[in-house]
Chains A and B, each alone.
Chain A
Amino acid sequence: QKEVEQNSGPLSVPEGAIASLNCTYSDRGSQSFFWYRQYSGKSPELIMFIYSNGDKEDGRFTAQLNKASQYVSLLIRDSQPSDSATYLCAVPISSGSARQLTFGSGTQLTVLP
């Protein structure tokens, strides 16, 4: 069973701080990693993806991948109250021509004004 684990939180940070969200995965063969943001009652929204070891930056978001440690993280700089949501880590389980995503249980982030 391929697993994706996240620290479930909840995580609270003050406005302007850096929020750090972590995810580990069990499948050593995984090649790509996704972060989705899910507001309460809404659908997952893709915010970052990373394929290579190292860091990938997009605006206030940085994804960090360490395949040797099977660890992927998401940093949110200058956190805003609008960032308050559940952040889902997702990893594809490969087979055939399409990819099913396995999701973690999510980390609930609250940014305090």
Chain B
Amino acid sequence: EPEVTQTPSHQVTQMGQEVILRCVPISNHLYFYWYRQILGQKVEFLVSFYNNEISEKSEIFDDQFSVERPDGSNFTLKIRSTKLEDSAMYFCASSIAGTAYEQYFGPGTRLTVT
């Protein structure tokens, strides 16, 4: 069964460093998403991406964040200058169509900022 994959599974970085989180969505899906979950808190939407551009973004997704689909398979989330409060699980998700809504999540990347 096709699934969303994410790398790395765990990333430790120092405050102020740049990190790139990588995702490979399900191959026939067209919509891609990033969510995050701070330990013990709700899953929060960050950004959605369709047709090589951002469709929606939340207030969390400020200028420190960016997304990119550098090739036909990868979807990346970059945090330019990490803060302690960026420590969280970051989940990539994809869906076959926006109106179908069913979003399938990858296993996540645990980001620890020290």
Asked whether any CB of chain B lies closer than 8 Å to the CB of A69, the reply is no
Q: How far is the CB of B108 from chain A (nearest CB, A)?
A: 5
Majority SS at the chain A contact face = strand
> Is A105 a contact partner of B42 (Cβ separation < 8 A)?
yes
Q: Which of B33, B45, B49, B103 has the most CB of A within 10 A?
A: B103
B: interface residue count bin: 20 to 34
CB-contacts of B73-103 with A (<8 A): 89, 91, 95, 98-99, 101-103
Q: Are A100 and B56 CB-contacts (below 8 A) given A44-B91, A44-B105, A46-B103?
A: yes
Are B43 and A92 closer than 8 Å at their CB atoms? Answer: no
Residue of A nearest to B108 (CB): A43
Residues in chain B near residue A97, CB distance under 8 A? 31, 50, 55, 98
Any B CB within 8 A of the CB of A34: yes
Q: A88-B43, A99-B95, A99-B101 are in contact. List 16 more A-B contacts (CB 8 A).
A: A42-B107, A43-B91, A43-B106, A49-B101, A49-B102, A96-B98, A97-B50, A98-B55, A99-B98, A99-B103, A100-B48, A101-B33, A101-B101, A101-B103, A105-B42, A106-B42
